[in-house]
Amino acid sequence: MKIIAVHLNYPSRVAQRGRKPAFPSYFLKPPSSIAASGDTIERPLGTELLAYEGEVALIIGRQVRRVSPEAGWAAVSGVTAANDWGVYDLRSVDKGSNLRNKGGDGFTPLGSTIIPTEGLDPAGLRVRTWVNGRITQDDTTADLLFPFGVLIADLSQLITLEPGDVVLTGTPAGSSVAGPGDTVEVEVDVPDGPSSGRLVTHVVEGQIPFAGFGAQPAVDDLQRAEAWGSAEAAGLQPVLSDELRALLNEVAVATLSSELRKRGYPHSSIDGVHPLTPGTRMIGIARTLRFVAHRPDLFTSHGGGYNAQKKAFDSLKTGEVLVIEARGDATAGTVGDVLALRAHTLGAAGVITDGAVRDSAAVADIGLPVFAQGTHPSVLGRRHVPWEVDATITCGGATVQPGDILVGDDDGVVVIPPHLLDEVARAAAEQEAQDAWVAARVAEGNPVDGLFPPNAAWLARYQSEKRNQS
């Protein structure tokens, strides 16, 4: 018997994670991890991030090898509820394989009733999770990235699936942390139809500490945010706090660029972009959109309808900046007035493109901060195909990842990795205070030699005056 699990499959989870896989990826769970409804699961002693993931489990009913997606679904004899438990504290050394963090005894509860697949629509299932009676996950299989038949067919290209094998099909948004004393329930059903019943797991505290050999539990705020579902849910301070935002609002992009260069980030500026409206200032958190060069067949498959560009703009949240990779090609528009209005209505902090803006006067009137390489009257189909949302991109020569911090002014835009934000913002504020003091000394008639930058004597005088003012 094999248990094969899929990493990402639900659009809601993809949006939460900030990355969208092009193909399914998998990991194995040992048969010894299987548990039944009503069993307990231990949160290992010394860990804090035991997370549940309600899922639809597929039960393979016959041997399959190299089958089509249609035949893949036909090979599934039943579906039931599953809970793909994991301990984020143990991800550091095997995050890809997930063996230690998801393979523990009791970490794969299944059941309690198997729903036969005869006459069942694989896109018509619902999965829900409750923690202590409160619903935390509620989604359907209607728009999975990788439908069930595709998963079976894909796996069967290299692996013989046998009767009794289990395929866990991914979890929707809402997965979070459970602790000792919590009861977690998962149900898979057809609304107003057959149900797996509730799969019940009780969480208890482990009593045996980890031995001194092997990797020890380790967590950081990134793991906490991923386990809980967000930084806010984990009780963490937001990366772009009100205090840091206020600091950033008082410093120039040029100063931030200088501070990043000091720390080994000389390519932090998005080159070639300028504000559509002079005097614009922008601060926000990155979301990303990538265009590829126009090709007729790709534009036919990806350019029309509710494409990646429209999805990106429709999903923006307050304070986010959409950064567009257009390969530096400003010979066709990448954003126009309607999409800019949509971003503004949703509370977005701005749009950055290393391509062009069309309807530039109308876009400027909307009041949304927009930074672009230029303007052009043509629609994007002349040069671009909307391709991918929330991936790592290159815009104006700078790498941008979802979650990076963007700051823009008349000099351009700088990209700040989140882990450097606090340090860089405070250093930039201090540098600007020092620069203002130096400028005042120059205005008094002092030569710049030894003053800009200040030598030891001038620096001592600056620090003395600063202390006296505080």
Q: Residue 19 in 3-state DSSP? A: coil
Tell me what the mean pLDDT of segment 120-130 comes to: 98
pLDDT over 90 at 281, yes or no: yes
Element at 289 (helix H, strand E): strand 282-293
Tell me what the mean pLDDT of segment 58-74 comes to: 97
413 beta partners: 270, 408
Query: In degrees, to the nearest 5, what angle opens at C-alpha 117 toward C-alphas 115 and 121?
Result: 110
Judge whether 338 is annotated as a binding position: yes
Q: Confidence band (pLDDT; 50, 70, 90) for 393? A: very high
CA pair distance 168, 164, nearest whole angstrom: 13
- Confidence (pTM): 0.60
Q: Residue 466 in 3-state DSSP? A: helix
Helix, strand, coil percent content, the chain, rounded in steps of 5 = 30, 30, 45
Q: Confidence band (pLDDT; 50, 70, 90) for 41? A: very high
Domain ranges across the chain: 3-228, 266-416, 431-469
Which burial class, exposed, middle or buried, applies to 19 when counting CB atoms under 10 A from its CB (0-12, 13-18, 19+)?
middle
Domains 3-228 and 266-416 share a fold: no
CA pair distance 62, 161, nearest whole angstrom: 8
Determine phi and psi for 205, rounding to 5 degrees: -85, 130
Q: Confidence band (pLDDT; 50, 70, 90) for 223? A: confident
* Tens-digit pLDDT profile for residues 320-345: 999 999 999 999 999 999 999 999 99
Judge whether 105 is annotated as a binding position: no
First-last CA distance in the chain: 70
Closest CA to 78 of 40, 120, 106: 120
Q: How far, in whole angstroms, is CA 352 from its chain's centroid?
A: 19
Q: Confidence band (pLDDT; 50, 70, 90) for 230? A: confident
25 beta partners: none
As given in the structure block, the two tokens for residue 277 are 């409206």
* Tens-digit pLDDT profile for residues 382-391: 999 999 998 9
Q: Confidence band (pLDDT; 50, 70, 90) for 413? A: very high
Is 148 in contact with 73 (CB distance < 8 Å)?
Answer: yes
Q: Which amino acid is located at 73 in the chain?
A: W
CA pair distance 134, 340, nearest whole angstrom: 38
Is 146 in contact with 154 (CB distance < 8 Å)?
Answer: yes
Residue 354 to residues 10, 269, 344, 372, 387: CA-CA distances in angstroms? 31, 12, 20, 6, 16
pLDDT for the residue 466: 86
pLDDT for the residue 456: 93
Element at 261 (helix H, strand E): helix 253-262
Tell me what the mean pLDDT of segment 188-205 comes to: 97
Tell me what the mean pLDDT of segment 249-272 comes to: 96
Q: Residue 463 in 3-state DSSP? A: helix
pLDDT for the residue 255: 96
Judge whether 327 is annotated as a binding position: no
Name the class of domain 3-228.
alpha beta
Yes or no: is domain 266-416 CATH 3.50.30.40? yes
Judge whether 339 is annotated as a binding position: yes
pLDDT for the residue 88: 95
Tell me what the mean pLDDT of segment 62-77 comes to: 97
Q: Confidence band (pLDDT; 50, 70, 90) for 368? A: very high
pLDDT for the residue 352: 98
Give the chain's mean pLDDT: 95
